[in-house]
Structure 1
Amino acid sequence: MRRKKALFICNPMYGYYKNIILELELHGWNVDYCNDKPTENSFFKGMMKIKKSLLKPLVKKYFDKLISEIKEKNYDLVFITNCKVFTTEMIKQMRNIQKSARFVLYMWDSLKLYPDNIDLIPLFDDAYSFDLEDCEKIDGLKFLPLFYCRGFEKVGQMLEEDVKYDIASVCTAHPNRYKIMRVLFPKLEANGVRIFSYMYLNKLQYLYNRVRVPEFKGVKSNEFKFIPLSEKENLEVLKRSNNVFDIPHINQSGLTMRTIETLGARRKMITTNVDIKKYDFYNENNIFVMDEWNLEEIEDFINRKYEPIDDEVYRKYSVSNWLDTIINDEDNKYLASKIG
């Protein structure tokens, strides 16, 4: 029997694409992969957020090269995450070349951050998003939460014998996150709470933020890291942590990747996202929703024991189950009781 063939277009940051490719292969697919943008150069990524229009010639050259590489191939699936740089005309051109392929889009960022992508949705056979609010507002967009990879599942099977941190925080330094963390963390540390904090920021974005973003006025470069943690490094931090701290982007309602990874690692979480209470894995013993900076409540939560959740609910958020939905376009099983 012929193995089905997929073209997978995805951002390589944090290595999620490797886990998705592995799962596709385990599901019996041959996979061709390409980056969702021409380069991982810091300048390019910074300009994507500051002045995207200046990058059009480079994007066009990159897309033309991609078209020349795939025009003689026949794919069963073209699977694109986020689609940050390709235009509607480019997707139409790709569809014209791959007429027999099923085209699938998955958004793991909010459409408030990438509003141009709203016009892309009708061009795909199926389009999904992690953001429930986007799915409720936009026709043709199906709700599908993010996933945890197999490495986090392994962490979840480990005994917490060598705990080094009471709270682990690994994130991109968005303004709302930085504003809260720069005040809250020193107060917790003054009370003896052990915190691992790793705030990543693109260098060009850092320079822009210092000048243009009020929350970053007066910041120092040593407050940030300019290289993101690898998945392996992140897993090592989780192994020695009891709780994970997470603040979603102010323009997103969907649960972050960090949230689902915390679920996979069977760790407790402190978050500001009240929408987490809608999900079937929510347990107030494991998840503290911080609406005020009440240090005593946070410290009390940190000392609680993790309470195991139902195994069927746990498995539902695995990368394998996530990919089953992408491949097979299963009925949406994420919107029953409490989204589960």
Structure 2
Amino acid sequence: MKIHFIEWNSEYERMMTSALKKEFNVHTIYNVNKHYKSVRALLPGKHLKRWHQRLHSSIKFRHIAKDDIVICNGYSAFLMLDFLALLSCKKILVLRDSVAALTAKRRRLKLLADDEIYLDRATPVFDVIYSFDPEDCRKYNLSYVSQFLPFTRNDIAAQAAEPVNAPTEHSCFYVGGYDDYRAGLINDLAPVLQENHCQPDFYLVGGDAENPNYPACCINEKLSYQQNIGKLKRATVVLEMNKPGQSGLTLRALEAMAFNKKLITNNASIKDHDFYHPDKIFIWGEDDRNSMSHFLSSEHQKTDPTLLEIYCADGMLKSLTGNAVE
């Protein structure tokens, strides 16, 4: 039995699947839609187009057997639903964003009607749908999976053993896309950090430099995931910002845990997780700002390696597939 990750395309997703291939019978499939639309446009009649759809699916998925497992993600799966519906193996969908965000984006692209949500199209195709957001799981009856890192436990152990340039001063690292909410939070937080001799190292990507709300301490520059991890490893603190209404963990929180960094987050529900400790995690908007100096200067214990198990890529794979990878 093989496990196929289909269209996990981002840099960190490819890092993850590459790591999993070293330890499990994992395979990847890319470019599922390549040439499909251009050929389909040349074909007359519904019958010929349906035949072409089945042919295209059989070619792209020719290495998938009935007893295999397919794992897709919420970002890329939507444009493959017709092809995926033709597969008879077990199909798993992982949502790494909220249902509301996935729905809003596809409505903007005119891929969903105003009265449809993302799950209306996806649910009939998949055997099980996982989400890292507890609220979405309760609201839509989805299965819960913890947010996960693109590294296996062996990867993290190897990276932890690598020499890292020690920071010459306290710094707080963040990278993310611009929106008004994040800009406002950073404008509120940055002076508090600077007053406590912790320099913001913030990358807020996509904002207008002429926007008076764009934080002066931020850099509007994209980072590769490798650059992201390099900066995080050299920082003393990591900033996580959840979107309003989002209660699931983001990668920033798990990266901070994996590389033994302190975390500042606006996600109050992080207290419900097994790795929470007030010496390592400051909840912005809930904890007393006057205690920031103590938080930044105090010592903290290293992360217990056993806590990382369910948040690593291999832990995620076992959560999704059960004993299929034992």
TM-score (normalizing by structure 2): 0.76
Q: Is the 8 A contact 1:11 1:36 kept in 2?
A: no
- List alignment gaps of at least 5 residues for structure 1: 39-56, 211-215, 331-340
- Cα offset, 1:160, TM superposition: 7.7
Does the Cα contact within 8 Å between 2:183 and 2:214 map onto a contact in 1?
Answer: no
TM-fit CA distance, 1:189: 1.9
User: Does 1:137 find its partner at 2:139?
Assistant: yes
Q: 1:4 corresponds to which residue?
A: 2
Structure-1 residue corresponding to 2:256: 262
- The match for 2:113 is none
Q: Distance in 2 between matches of 1:179 and 1:329?
A: 45
1:163 is matched with 167
Structure 1 position 95, deviation (Å): 2.5
Query: 1:143-162 CA deviation, whole Å, 9 max, x = no partner?
Result: 11112224555454568871
Q: Which amino acid aligns with 2:188?
A: V
CA contact (8 A) 2:17 2:28 kept: no
SS at match of 2:30: strand
Equivalent positions of 1:178-257 (< 5 A) are 178-201=183-206, 206=207, 219=214, 223-227=218-222, 229-257=223-251
Equivalent residue letter for 2:290: E
Q: Is the 8 A contact 1:268 1:287 kept in 2?
A: yes
Q: 1:288 to 1:156 in 2, by over 3 A?
A: farther
Kept after mapping to 1: 8 A contact 2:178/2:204: yes
After TM superposition, give the deviation of residue 218 of structure 1 in Å.
Answer: 5.6
Q: Does the CA contact (< 8 Å) of 2:93 and 2:130 recur in 1?
A: yes
1:317 aligns with 2:311: yes
Which residues of 2 match residues 317-336 of structure 1 at below 5 A?
317-328=311-322
Per-residue deviation, 1:235: 2.1
Higher Cα radius of gyration: 2
Are the counterparts in 1 of residues 268 and 286 from structure 2 also a CA contact under 8 Å?
Answer: no
Aligned partner letter, 1:145: S
Residue of structure 2 in register with 1:334 after alignment: none
- 1:110 partnered with 2:134: no
Taking a change above 3 Å as real, the CA distance of residues 243 and 220 of structure 1, as seen in their structure-2 partners, is: closer
Alignment coverage as a number of residue pairs: 290
Deviations 1:55-113 (A, max 9, x none): xx79x98x9696364154434222111145625xx5244222x22x2111001101121
Which residue does 2:295 correspond to in 1? 301
Alpha carbons of structure 1 residues 113 and 153: separation in structure 2 relative to 1, 3 Å? farther
The 1:85/1:26 distance shift into structure 2, 3 A limit, reads closer
Counterparts of 1:85 and 1:5 in 2: how far apart (Å)? 16
Q: Distance in 2 between matches of 1:251 and 1:124?
A: 26
Q: Does the residue aligned with 1:112 lie in a helix, a strand or coil?
A: helix
Q: Does the Cα contact within 8 Å between 1:147 and 1:261 map onto a contact in 2?
A: no
Contact 2:200 2:217 in 1 (8 A): no
Q: Percent of pairs identical after alignment?
A: 21
- In the alignment, which residue of structure 1 is the partner of 2:147? 146
Equivalent residue for 2:13? 16
Question: Could you tell me how far 1:303 is from its partner in structure 2?
Answer: 1.0
Deviations 1:155-184 (A, max 9, x none): 545688712443111222232111110232
Shift of 1:291: 1.4
Give the deviation of 1:248 after TM superposition.
0.8
How has the CA–CA distance of structure 1 residues 255 and 109 changed in structure 2, closer, same or farther, with 3 Å as cutoff?
Answer: same
SS at match of 1:123: coil
Give the match for residue 25 of structure 2: 28
1:135 match: secondary structure? helix
- Give the AA of the match of 1:22: A
* 1:174 and 2:175 correspond: no
